[in-house]
Chain A
């Protein structure tokens, strides 16, 4: 059964700093997605990664996918308060199930 794990589960970081969130998954897949969730809200799509080596960037966030290592990273550059949210990765199984990771709650402070 597919397991999707993220670390860290909680991240408190200062504005202006850089950090990386990791997403590991347990079975072969070359399709991975990143979502953002604000408190009390629904999920919003951030990135779609569809092949080994895929890299996507939007503002201060950059996501990458290494299918051989079964690892995706979400890199935060020069964090700002507006990035405070919970970030989820999701892996697309060949059966069309979409399985979510445990989530990383990010808090950015001044």
Chain B
């Protein structure tokens, strides 16, 4: 059982480049989340989704976009990378509210 899978694990981007962080889950969970974790800090919610076709902003959505065309996939898009987006990005999923979320292994992104 793979759970939540994120790719890539590591990436270095130049300022102004764009990229998509991939997240897929095989647990048939409706709810999916994207967080960023800056060094030594807590997790900040970027975007979340409660089902295919439904997305909503979290605490720090600026500079990011998401889509949810299938239950399994929830990609996060960075359009114009900035040094402030250097962080570790975590994707998580859960079956619904009232349940624990399961996390992927994270993507470590550096913008130079």
Contacts and interface: CB of A to CB of B under 8 A. Distances in A.
Chain B contact patch, size range: 20 to 34
B91 to A, nearest CB: 10
Contact of B101 (A1, A45, A50, A103): A45
A45 B93 CA distance: 12
B43 interface: yes
A89 B48 CA distance: 18
A78 interface: no
Contact of B98 (A43, A44, A92, A99): A92
Contacts of A44: 103
Centre residue among B50, B94, B100 by max chain A CB count within 10 A: B100
A11 interface: no
Interface of B: 31, 33, 35, 41-45, 48, 50, 56, 58-59, 90, 92, 94, 97-106
Given A88-B42, A96-B97, A98-B33, 6 more contacts: A42-B104, A45-B100, A96-B48, A97-B56, A98-B48, A100-B35
